[in-house]
Amino acid sequence: MTRKSTAKTIKCPQCGKPSEWSQDNSNRPFCSERCRMIDLGAWASEEYQIPVDKSEDEYSTGLDEDERRFTPVRH
């Protein structure tokens, strides 16, 4: 099995068409500038809404100090 892959081809997130993932393609991961602009526009509009949870600021480690088990050290 021989591999002849000069450029990686990915799926355009916007239209789903195969798009070339190369340095030539400045619109990657999109196939064209049009798709890129469409995506940018979609982000600007309310189509994509990122839920921002501002109520929970504290980090949950899932492990409290008390729950840590100290291994007995033998002298």
| 14 known member of a binding site | no
In the complex with Zn ion, the residue whose CB is nearer, 10 or 15, is: 15
x/- map, 34-53, Zn ion, by CB under 5 A: -x------------------
SS3 at position 41: helix
Q: Quick one: which segment of 3-11, 32-40, 44-52, 66-74 binds Zn ion (CB under 5 A)?
A: 32-40
Residue 4 has, within 13 A of its CA and on its CB side, a CA count of 1
31 sits near Zn ion (criterion: CB under 5 A)? yes
Question: Which tokens belong to 23?
Answer: 């340095």
Residue 38 CA, chain-centre distance (Å), reads 18
DSSP string, 32-57: SHHHHHHHHHHHHTTSS------S--
Sole binder of Zn ion in the list 6, 8, 9, 14 (CB under 5 A)? 14
Site residues (vs Zn ion, CB under 5 A): 12, 14-15, 17, 31, 35
